Every structure is written in C-alpha cells, then in structure tokens.
C-alpha cells in the first residue's frame, strides 16, 4: 500500500513538474511574441509608407527589409492567424481588433480558384477568426472558400490539383494535405458532405501514392488528369527526388493527424504514427530536433536548418499525443522542440522586423528564403505553444 502511495505521489510530482515547465515555456514564448508583433506592426506601417502594396508579412528580403505579400500569396493568412492566437492567449481587445483588420485583407481569396492554398490563406486567418468569435460572416467565407477549392478536385485523379502553369500536367504536393482542414470544416458548417468526401478522397490517394516504404514522402506526384495514372514522383523544394524534404515530412505528419481527428479513420492515425517514426528515428535528425532543410541534404551537419519544419512538427506531435498509445513520447519530443525553438532559435526582442523565430528555409534549391524568418514558422510555433498550454491545463488541444 505504501509503495502504491509512493508511486502515485511520484507520478503526481512528475506531472506537476511537467506542467510547470510547459507553462513557463508558453509564457516565455508568448511574451516574446507580443513584443515582436508590436515591432512587426511598426515595420508594416513603415514598409507601406515606403510604397509596399503588400498586406501581410512573409519574410525578410536579402537586404533585411520586411517583405510584405499580397493576399493572393500562399503565406498571406499566417500573420492574421498569429494575431488570433495572441488574442486567444491574452484575451486582449487590442489583438482582437488587429486580427479582424488583417483578416479582412485576406477574405477576397475565397473566390480565387487559381490556387490550392485556400486552407493556408483562409483557414489560418478566417478559420481561426470563426473558431474564436463564431462570427457568421466568417462562416460564410469558409464555405465559399471550400466551394472554390473544390473546383480544383479531379475525380479521375482523386486529388485536388496543386499548381497551375507548371511543367506538370496535374501536380499534387504533400503540402496540399494542409488545405483539407478547410473542407472538413465547411461540411460541419454547411451540412454539405461533398467537401468531406473530397478531403477523404484526396487524403487516401495521397496516402497511396506519395509515400515510400519507410513512410517518407515525395514532395510532388504528377498525374495524368485524363486517366489518373501516376506519371512521376519527384521533389521541387527538396534535395533530390528520392530525398526527404523536411518540411514536407512535417506537412504529412500534421495532415494525417488532422485527418484522423476529423474522420476517426484509424488508417490515418497509423499513417501519422509511421511518419512520426520516420522523423523521430531519422539518423540525420539533430539532437535539438530542429531538422536540416532536407533529411538527406548532402553536407550534413553543415546544412541550413528549417525552424518552420520543427514548428509544424511540434504542433502536430502535440495533437497526435492525444490520440496515440505513443502519446507520452510524442509530447516529450514536442516539448523539447518548442523549448529549443524558444531558447535557441528566437529573435532578440526588437530585431528582425518583429519575426519571432529565425533560421527557417523556404526553398534551398532555388536559393530563396534561406536561413531567414518565415511567417509560417511563427504561426505554427504559436499554435504549438497553445497546444502545449492546453495539454498542461488538461484541455483538448483542438477547440
């Protein structure tokens, strides 16, 4: 009996220590994010006064200036999403007003059928706005965006087309898994099951064709739009066609975890667990769990890191930890990632035009956005912090 009491006491002590660690890390991360976002807002005003026509920040230019992008850019929704996260964490009216203002800049994308990035743009901004306010206007924008995204679905292929006007007939990239959440939400809001069916079909086709035997993912799979035949499997942002581009692996982990949440299909849970194993057991994953830009990059350890891949991975692992029997492992790894990002990859207050994290890699093969801050690294970092806090508070990581 005494042994049992001692064991319970030890477990309780460990649990309290874990939660204290989490709350401290979350507090530190959001304190920096608030300070940096104030810096960012000033930098945005300065960029616009200098002639920039962009609406939200994406990165820094080669000379260190803030790079603003128009609403059509795939990264446009991330900064509004960060503002929603700041409002969620603080409850402050200041962040609510700013979130509404910057979200309004993105809403015109609900009818842009020339891109697959509807989820990245609309769901990160408008989706978070609806989640936190239940504004019926945001509901309508989400449904309209889902209708637009659905026009890119080819039933013969079983996927949503990613890019237009490229060298491929019908390219599908692993990133596209992240846009399915918008479709799942639209079915819940509208009662129209067609969005759900498209999302599931896309996820199943991607699971069949995008993954190797070790559960690493190709970046691009090219299909014949007339027959649905797979024409080629390759990369666009990774080191080589048979390499594992790190952010792509994180997109896959996040995407299939989300698909399991939305469907309850155990095949998606198993897929997410397999991808997690590939990542976490990879011999080229650094000790701090912040990946190099590609797990097979030729000059490891002298290669650039990708903090954005780490942020996406951490956020996904927190959610996956609530579904999987490996949950304790996943949560501990996510805790380590966010601690290392907070302690070693964060910008000094007042610097970097207000970005929170440094050392991300956009496209190393194109030599663009290499070792720079990126808006989506900050977005998923803040989401990971919120999920860490929810676990410490014993709340669902997804509202």
Active-site entry in 117, 294, 306, 378: 117
DSSP 8-state secondary structure symbol assigned to residue 214: T
User: What count of other Cβ atoms lies within 10 Å of the Cβ of residue 261?
Assistant: 20
Residues 6+ apart with CB under 8 A from 260: 266, 268, 269, 272, 323
Q: What whole-number distance in Å separates Cα of residue 175 and Cα of residue 165?
A: 18
**Per the omega criterion (within 30 degrees of 0), is the bond before 77 cis?**
no
Query: Which H helix or E strand runs over 98?
Result: helix 93-104
Q: What whole-number distance in Å separates Cα of residue 269 and Cα of residue 271?
A: 5
For 123-141, the DSSP string reads IIIIIHHHHHH--HHHHHH
What are 200's two structure tokens? 């599931």
What are 282's two structure tokens? 């990879």
Residues 6+ apart with CB under 8 A from 38: 354
Q: Is the CA virtual torsion 107, 359, 162, 143 positive or negative?
A: negative
Q: What whole-number distance in Å separates Cα of residue 360 and Cα of residue 369?
A: 8
Residue 175 known to be catalytic: yes
DSSP 8-state secondary structure symbol assigned to residue 371: E
Q: What whole-number distance in Å separates Cα of residue 308 and Cα of residue 236?
A: 17
Q: What whole-number distance in Å separates Cα of residue 30 and Cα of residue 26?
A: 6
Active-site entry in 73, 175, 294, 378: 175
Q: Is the CA virtual torsion 262, 265, 268, 273 positive or negative?
A: positive
Residues 6+ apart with CB under 8 A from 41: 98, 354
Query: Which H helix or E strand runs over 94?
Result: helix 93-104
Distance of CA 366 to the CA centre of its chain: 21
Positions annotated as catalytic residues are 117, 175
């Amino acid at each position: 009996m005494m042994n049992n009491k001692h064991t319970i006491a030890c477990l309780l002590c460990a649990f309290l220590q874990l939660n204290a660690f989490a709350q401290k890390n979350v507090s530190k991360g959001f304190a920096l994010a608030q300070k940096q976002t104030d810096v960012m807002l000033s930098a945005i005003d300065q960029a616009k006064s200098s002639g920039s026509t962009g609406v939200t920040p994406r990165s820094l230019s080669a000379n260190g200036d803030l790079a603003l992008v128009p609403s059509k850019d795939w990264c446009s929704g991330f900064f509004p999403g960060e503002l929603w996260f700041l409002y969620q964490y603080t409850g402050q009216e200041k962040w609510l007003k700013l979130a509404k203002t910057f979200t309004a800049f993105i809403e015109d994308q609900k009818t842009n059928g020339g891109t697959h990035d509807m989820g990245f743009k609309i769901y990160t901004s408008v989706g978070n706005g609806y989640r936190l306010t239940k504004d019926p206007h945001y509901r309508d924008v989400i449904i309209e965006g889902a209708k637009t995204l659905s026009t890119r679905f080819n039933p013969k292929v079983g996927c949503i087309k990613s890019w237009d006007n490229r060298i491929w007939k019908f390219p599908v990239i692993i990133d596209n898994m992240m846009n399915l959440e918008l479709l799942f939400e639209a079915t819940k809001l509208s009662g129209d099951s067609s969005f759900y069916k498209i999302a599931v079909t896309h996820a199943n086709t991607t699971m069949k064709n995008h993954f190797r035997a070790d559960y690493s993912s190709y970046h691009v799979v090219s299909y014949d739009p007339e027959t649905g035949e797979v024409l080629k499997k390759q990369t666009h942002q990774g080191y080589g066609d048979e390499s594992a581009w790190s952010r792509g692996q994180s997109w896959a982990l996040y995407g299939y975890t989300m698909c399991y949440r939305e469907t309850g299909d155990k095949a998606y849970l198993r897929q997410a667990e397999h991808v997690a194993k590939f990542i976490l057991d990879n011999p080229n994953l650094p000790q701090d769990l912040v990946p190099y830009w590609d797990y097979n990059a030729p000059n490891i350890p002298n290669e650039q890191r990708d903090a954005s891949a780490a942020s996406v991975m951490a956020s996904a692992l927190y959610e996956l930890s609530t579904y999987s029997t490996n949950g304790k492992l996943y949560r501990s790894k996510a805790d380590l990632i966010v601690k290392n990002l907070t302690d070693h990859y964060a910008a000094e207050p007042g610097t970097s035009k207000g970005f929170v994290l440094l050392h991300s890699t956009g496209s190393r093969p194109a030599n663009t956005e290499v070792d720079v801050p990126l808006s989506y690294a900050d977005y998923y970092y803040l989401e990971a912090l919120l999920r860490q806090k929810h676990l410490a508070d014993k709340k669902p990581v997804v509202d």
